[in-house]
Structure 1
């Protein structure tokens, strides 16, 4: 894939994240996503050999739908596996231009670090209550927007996101685990 020179034109509006919770329905979810969406492959729960095999199977489906494929791993692994980018906490990412860099953030400090690093986009969470962190406080629409204003790159809303919450937040980019895999 070409370097991400004109990011605002190519950054997908909708992102699906993989997780142990949604593994059984990922094939269907990837096929149902609008063409050109984004897919972030995490699958931290699998041993290495199974993680690679699962990635390859899901990547084929994602590529057939022209999805951008991002890997939660090192840049070296992302290049070896043929991913378009890397995903992780800002402190785990290293500046590069050959891969899309998606940084996670939960507060102002992480947003500042992602800005300094030169991330291409920031996944800010949790926008709403989420099954990933039950009982943890969420940002809510007002705090989400206040924090997002400090990002120097596009912000992707994550955490409790589904079609209803996306409309409530009225944000151009959003991502989900469960919110895009349940019917």
Structure 2
């Protein structure tokens, strides 16, 4: 499986491999039923768009995923991790641990809103929250090899062309910080997908992921659903 990394942003993920053909979770070569559903759905979306580096992005959260490396260790080759540390004191240590796992398993590692940390640990790029999208152009000029993604929470939100992809949320009713936000729905996702590569985030799980088929999304992203599916 080929992954577009910091070394070569022009390559794309080879989505023709079958789930379980790589090392699998914990080296077992198998996926749980829930993990297989999410992974196959993500790669199906990637096939339709042929424009992503990693069809599935695991977003970390200090409260909901206090040990993100446990999930990262079980992700299939070609998936991605977005490490959001929110100022945690052990951010560098955790980022280095995730980088080691990413190298071992063939994952894409993005650091949330911390280009300095991304540089230090040799991450593949940066994910920007919506409030920091203005940094995208400068980051692209400084690191043209990086993968850059950015969060948006409305179809009308202007997103810099410097971004490789946007992450639109919440698509479905979601938990965490998005619990108080109204779901945007698949129609909004499709509208965004007409303009640029977009990941679906928010309430995307084994029960809802089928509804993304044909939406134009380039992949899926999640916190709890991915942590749960790849827990064993």
Q: Which has the higher contact order (CA 8 A, sep 6+)?
A: 2
State the shift of 1:18 in Å: 0.7
Q: CA deviation at 1:31?
A: 2.2
| Alignment partner of 1:83 is 2:129 | no
For 2:186, the equivalent position in structure 1 comes to 141
Q: Find the residue that maps to 1:77 and give its secondary structure.
A: helix
Distance apart, 1:60 and its partner CA: 1.7
- Equivalent position of 1:15 in the other structure: 57
The match for 2:152 is: 105
Residue-pair matches, total: 176
Deviating beyond 6 angstroms after TM superposition, the runs of 4 or more aligned structure 1 residues are none
Structure 1 residue runs of 5 or longer lacking an equivalent are none
Q: Could you list the per-position Cα deviations for residues 100-140 of structure 1 after superposition, in whole angstroms to 9, with x for gaps in the alignment? A: 11111122343x3323xx21111111111111222310111
Gap regions ≥5 residues in structure 2: 1-5, 13-49
Deviations 1:143-169 (A, max 9, x none): 221232222xx2111111223322221
Task: Give RMSD over aligned pairs.
Answer: 2.0
- Corresponding residue for 1:178? 224
2:9 to 4, 19, 32: 4
Instruction: Write out aligned runs for 1:1-183 (5 A).
Output: 1-7=6-12, 8=50, 11-44=53-86, 46-47=88-89, 50-88=90-128, 89=130, 90-93=133-136, 94=138, 95-96=140-141, 97-110=144-157, 112-115=158-161, 118-132=162-176, 133-151=178-196, 154-170=197-213, 171-183=217-229
Q: Matches of 2:190 and 2:51 in 1, distance apart?
A: 22
Residue 103 of structure 2 aligns to a residue whose secondary structure is helix
Distance in 2, matches of 1:9 and 1:148, equals 11
